[in-house]
Homo-oligomer: A and B are copies of this chain.
Amino acid sequence: MTEKLSDTARKTTLEPLLEAGWELDDGRDAISKKYEFENFVEAFGFMTKCAIWAEKWNHHPEWSNVYKTVNVTLTTHDVDGLSSLDVKLARKMDGLAE
């Protein structure tokens, strides 16, 4: 069962993400990141790979795309905040963006 990240988990799992360019949202318990690619094909290709993982894990991003830019926000609606699912998907997305 998915639970909100504990204080300990925030230290150990969230801080590396913040160092990797993720930011905590103002106003709600969520993290966001802006990815920039070479062009639209690269940007949408990234989204396509992420989409398959998101569906496989049944945990979906809120995201937008303008040409070569992809903005992603992750949060877990079921727990009204960040959970380990967000950490897992954030790490996966960073890997897929490389």
Task: Report the count of interface residues on A (CB-CB < 8 A).
Answer: 15
Copies of this subunit: 2
B60 touching A62 by the CB < 8 A rule?
no
A24 at the interface (CB under 8 A from B): no
A64 at the interface (CB under 8 A from B): yes
| A24-63 interface with B by 8 A CB criterion | 40-41, 44, 47-48, 51, 54-55, 60, 62-63
Chain B residue nearest in CB terms to A45: B51
Instruction: Please give, as numbers and ranges, the residues of chain B lying within 8 Å of A55 by CB-CB distance.
Output: 40-41, 44
20 A-B residue pairs with CB within 8 Å: A40-B51, A40-B54, A40-B55, A40-B60, A41-B55, A44-B47, A44-B48, A44-B51, A44-B55, A47-B47, A48-B48, A60-B66, A60-B67, A62-B64, A62-B65, A62-B66, A63-B64, A63-B65, A64-B64, A64-B65
